[in-house]
Amino acid sequence: MPAARRILTCLLGLGLWCAARAEVRPETLPGLTFGDLPPREVWVYVPPGGVTVATPVLVVLDGQMMAAWRLEETLTALAAQGRVAVPLVVAIAAGEGRSDEYGLAGLPDFAGRGGKAAAFVLETVLPAVRQRYGVPAGDPARTGVMGASQGGLVAFDLAWRHADVFGFAGIFSGSFWWRSDNATPVTRQASRLALHLADRPGRPPRVRLWFEAGTSDETDDRDGNGVIDAIQDTTELMDVLARRGLRRGPDLTYVEVAGGRHNETTWAAVLPRFLEWALPPAR
């Protein structure tokens, strides 16, 4: 075999070997109990080379939708690029009563819904993951959570109120319309619960928050100001957070997707941007 061909063959073989090393290995986490909530699947995406004490952990809400998010392909691409540390991803499926589970803990909406997800994430899933994979607790800078729509609302709630666990969050098209009074447009605007939560007295947590909204997320415009609610709710929440002391840029990032819709196609397209923002550099 000519020398040039031998070199090309070796390079091709090396490329295939690197691609194989970069593959993310999905597993399931069986045997968990969720109290009075129905059981559900938890998928764990193990990075190439396995898990070490320095491996970041990313909890994902609505884990049943990760195929539509192209999560596995995105993680594999990140591993091949080698710029950021590939996380151990814990994707938790939503239950059938999603609106009863997803919301703000202790702050039900006007229909009395929401708030149950935080307990099973913190008390059931994360302890099981740490025990099985040897990931230590107490490192919020390397532990994050992400979700979309109501899952994004939960992700914000978890990071804001449990910054000792989660140091960063990705909120895609977050349901920050979540409100306690649905009577009129004025009360709907005034009773948005995430804004009230963020504005509570006290020292704000040290946390990094990444927000996304699409210009075609919806058509609703409660106050008729020409800005759809999905964008207004997100940016006004960020205004509250900035007033509380979080820094735009280092702590608060906003991505507005022109033509972006309230669906997995839009969220999958911006997922790499979130992961590269959120994760520490590869070692």
Q: What is the pLDDT of residues 215-269, one digit of tens each?
A: 999 999 999 999 999 999 999 999 999 999 999 999 999 999 999 999 999 999 9
3-state secondary structure (DSSP) of residue 130: helix
pLDDT in tens, 78-106: 999 999 999 999 999 998 888 889 999 99
Position 9 scores a pLDDT of: 34
Domains of the chain by residue range:
25-278
Rg (Cα) of the chain, in Å, rounded?
Answer: 20
Pairing of strands 143-148, 168-172: parallel
Looking at residue 22, what is its pLDDT?
Answer: 61
- The answer to whether 142 touches 58, Cβ cutoff 8 Å, is no
pTM above 0.75, yes or no: yes
pLDDT at 10 over 50: no
Beta-strand pair 25-28/57-61: unpaired
Q: Which CATH class is domain 25-278?
A: alpha beta
- What whole-number distance in Å separates Cα of residue 152 and Cα of residue 208? 14
Report pLDDT for 14. Answer: 36
